[in-house]
Chains A and B, each alone.
Chain A
Amino acid sequence: MKKRSAKVLTIVLILMLSLALALTGCGNKNETEPSKQNDPKNTTQTDKGSSNSPATNESSKLEKVDLTWYIGGTAQADVTSVEKAINEYLKDKLNVNIHLKAVDWGNLTQKMQLTNASGEAYDLAFTSNWANDYYQNVNKGAFLQLDDLLKQYAPDIMETLPEGGWDAVKVNGGIYAVPNYQIWAKTDVVWPMKELADKYGLDVASVKSYEDLTPFLEKVKAGEPNMIPIENSKTGQFGNVLLHYGFDEFAGRNVPGVVKFDDSNLAVLNQFESPEYKSFVSLMREWNQKGFFRKDAATLTDVTADRKAAKVAVLVGGTVKPGGETEMKSLIQKDMLMVGVSQPVLTTSGIIATSTGISKSSKNPERAMMFLNLLYKDKTLYNLIAHGIEGKHYKKIDEQTVEAIKDGGYDPSSDWEFGNQFNGYYRNGQKPGIWEDTVKLNESAVQSPLLGFSFDPTPIKTEIAQVATITAQYVPLLETGSVDPEKMLPEFIQKLKKAGSDKIIQELQKQIDAWKSSK
């Protein structure tokens, strides 16, 4: 017995020792970290002082610095030769050594969290509301506030972007990222297949909502036994008709709380309790019973296979934009019609969907800003980074249009990731002139009354998480029409209330009222 207790004692001792070791490890880290973080700040301050004058006078005097840019997408095999070409080109302009670090879209969020946590220095990073979340980065203090840098080093960005863009990225009055300039306006859309629309006499001009599609879908169902009349999946459909019903879903997908665009009082509603939601899920139920969806729609996660096989008569999701049909055609190999079912709207989420932030760990934030500024102005630089090197990675078809060379080793095909997309060449198949059309669309779009409001989820984190488990369960069922809404919708709403949806609405209203009075 005694022996055993002695053993237990040794074990406890060892445990304590190892704990102590671990703790001292932490302590050391804490001590060193502030000094590490101070370092770049100090250098930036001195840098600022020294580089102020060269920026205005002569940039050739700039010291050579490294800039690391984290972007999303597949790592390109020949990225080094592109980096080299960029550095060569910028030698007399900025004198930077650019490193493009591509991380797969699916991993970008995690990778950036780890990079921030480890204190690794980087300069620029892609940020958005769907990958490497913008607000999370701002709340954690990973991004630098850019207002002063923009004023000092980015005259071209300021000139290019419309005012609405800056409103969208503001958090507590400060700007922490530069929105990339591409299609911002969002319009709800359906994509009927052209040959079927012709065959069954679908009058596109008359389609103003999902309901208007019902007769067409009936004919497709009767006449084309091998086709799926309309796309539907686990993600649910209501997200694709929010603008149609005039809702701005500003707190995140399927988080209760929307504001109507035409409501100047900015009253927050629970969209799942709205009559619009009820009529929508009833329509989905009707369509499901008529057999318009895939049978397994409620569990389907990947719709691309059906799209590629051209098996679906009407696709849903995305947005109306100039050149949208050609993009769809390159995926499906069939002509699709682009039919808008809402007015074009500028929302915060549509704008921050593609933006670029500057890291707090950056040692040369002003140089990063100058580089970003050049991307909005300098077409050569933009095309280098978006398309690669001419003759090696792409060939010109005409003055404005290029085509990627197969297996050339560099073709990120995400033109919207690098500053101002309207600086770029058109890709083969895109009609020249769509950039100008897109700018016009952005400028003519209706602004959401909530543009510039950013929602802080911290006070209601638990409620949001609880609600998310409920929506994950009911949304796929209701929005694919797999269950009877007469029975399940009240049950859904009741469970949402139990999970705290009313508290979320109250909190949202509180934040919006505070924002409104501060404006």
Chain B
Amino acid sequence: MELHRKKHGFSNWLIHLWFIVFSLFCIIPFLYVISISFSKETDIALHGYQLIPKTFTTFAYEYLFESPKVLISSYLVSIAVTVLGTILSLIITAKLAYVLSRKDFRGSKPMSFFVFFTLLFSGGLVPWFILIKNFLHIDDTILSLILPYVIMPWHVLLMKGFLSDIPPALIESGKIDGAGEWRIFYNIILPISKPAMATLGLFIAFVYWNDWYLALLYIDSPNLVPLQYMLYRIMNNIQFLSTSLQSGNISIDLSKMPNETARMAMAMLAAGPILFVFPFFQKYFIKGLTVGAVKG
């Protein structure tokens, strides 16, 4: 008995240690970002990155909020895209996944394959671009930031996995009680798959919130630029210019580019909202992940 407990304790410790080290790897870089965003620029150049700022200053944030118009508008765009996109995508993904999960639907297999196929192969960038720009004509509108991600095959398959575990008897019982397909979906299926929906919603929200690629492709007007794209642009510009301009006859005033502390402050502002959203979803999250597992 004693021996057993000892062994148990030891492996427990090992597991704890592993996770402590692992979470340190995640947390420390983040702490660095926070610290840099509150540091003085010259301190970083002179002493390197430090976990505790040598001189504490909110200069970077003041710099960002000096001309808050751009920041606020990109925040609004990001929030609008995330909220609208998540709702739309969640509804459509759930509906598609539900249909695919019904074993009494004959086309389920080929349709599933059709979804799965697009997970592996896509039409490529140029046809995609032409579709959005020349056929749908939604480039440079907020729709171009939402529509392309409404159905993501990975999400559909995930949801299908969740929904396949619902016993068909439940649906049959609904039918016996005289419920139509819509009623079954909205009043039976949706309520019991709340955890799955919450999990999926979080995934989708992450996709929309973190996306800059659609904006890079389709957005021209400055007031439709989402937050992540703004961030990406700044980083990308600095990198591109500092590598390609050393040799050329071009002078671009790099002093106007935000410096390191400002960039980190922007990263904080971009990551912030998602940090607050996460605990809100967390109570569903664990349930959601295990929902596919066999239950008693």
A residues contacting B by CB (< 8 A) are: 7, 10-11, 14-15, 18, 22, 25, 29, 74-77, 101, 104-107, 110-111, 114, 117-120, 128-131, 182-184, 186, 226, 235, 239-240, 253, 301-309, 311, 317-319, 321, 327, 330-331, 349-350, 353-354, 407, 413-414, 416
Contact of B129 among A118, A305, A309 (CB under 8 A): A118
- Assuming the A-B contacts A18-B117, A106-B237, A309-B41, are A130 and B248 also in contact, with contact meaning beta carbons closer than 8 angstroms in the complex? yes
Q: Contact: A104 with B236, CB < 8 Å? A: yes
- Could you list 25 A-B pairs, sorted by A, with CB under 8 Å? A10-B109, A10-B110, A14-B110, A75-B221, A77-B70, A104-B237, A105-B241, A105-B252, A106-B239, A111-B216, A114-B217, A117-B130, A118-B134, A119-B130, A130-B245, A226-B46, A303-B242, A305-B260, A307-B254, A318-B245, A330-B253, A331-B253, A413-B253, A413-B256, A416-B250
Q: Contact: B238 with A302, CB < 8 Å? A: yes
Q: Contact: A101 with B220, CB < 8 Å? A: yes
Chain A residues with CB below 8 A from B243, complex form: 235, 301
Shortest B230–chain A CB gap in Å is 10
Tell me, yes or no, whether B293 is within 8 Å of chain A by CB.
no
Q: Contact: A253 with B45, CB < 8 Å? A: no
Return the CB mask of B107-122 against A: 1 if under 8 Å, else 0: 0011001100100000
Look across to chain B and name the residue whose beta carbon is closest to the beta carbon of A253. Answer: B247
Tell me whether chain B's interface is mostly helix, strand or loop, or mixed.
helix
Q: Contact: A106 with B45, CB < 8 Å? A: no
- Assuming the A-B contacts A186-B249, A311-B45, are A107 and B236 also in contact, with contact meaning beta carbons closer than 8 angstroms in the complex? yes
Contact of A306 among B45, B130, B134 (CB under 8 A): B45
Q: Contact: A354 with B110, CB < 8 Å? A: no
Q: Contact: B255 with A305, CB < 8 Å? A: no
Tell me, yes or no, whether B244 is within 8 Å of chain A by CB.
yes
Shortest B109–chain A CB gap in Å is 7
Complexed CA–CA distance, A253 and B110 (Å)? 51
Q: Contact: B110 with A302, CB < 8 Å? A: no
Tell me, yes or no, whether B11 is within 8 Å of chain A by CB.
no
Interface size class of B (residues with CB under 8 A): 35 or more
Given A309-B45, A331-B255, 11 new contacts (CB under 8 A)? A29-B130, A105-B237, A105-B241, A107-B236, A114-B126, A117-B129, A120-B133, A318-B251, A327-B251, A330-B255, A407-B67
- Assuming the A-B contacts A114-B129, A301-B239, are A413 and B252 also in contact, with contact meaning beta carbons closer than 8 angstroms in the complex? yes
Q: Contact: B114 with A14, CB < 8 Å? A: yes
Tell me, yes or no, whether B272 is within 8 Å of chain A by CB.
no
Tell me, yes or no, whether B23 is within 8 Å of chain A by CB.
no
Chain A residues with CB below 8 A from B247, complex form: 130, 239-240, 253, 317
Q: Contact: A119 with B134, CB < 8 Å? A: yes
**Most chain B beta carbons < 10 A, residue from A104, A311, A416:** A104
Shortest B62–chain A CB gap in Å is 14
Which of chain B's residues 222-248 have a Cβ closer than 8 Å to chain A?
A: 222, 225, 233, 236-248
**Most chain A beta carbons < 10 A, residue from B41, B241, B244, B246:** B246
Complexed CA–CA distance, A308 and B236 (Å)? 19
Shortest A227–chain B CB gap in Å is 10
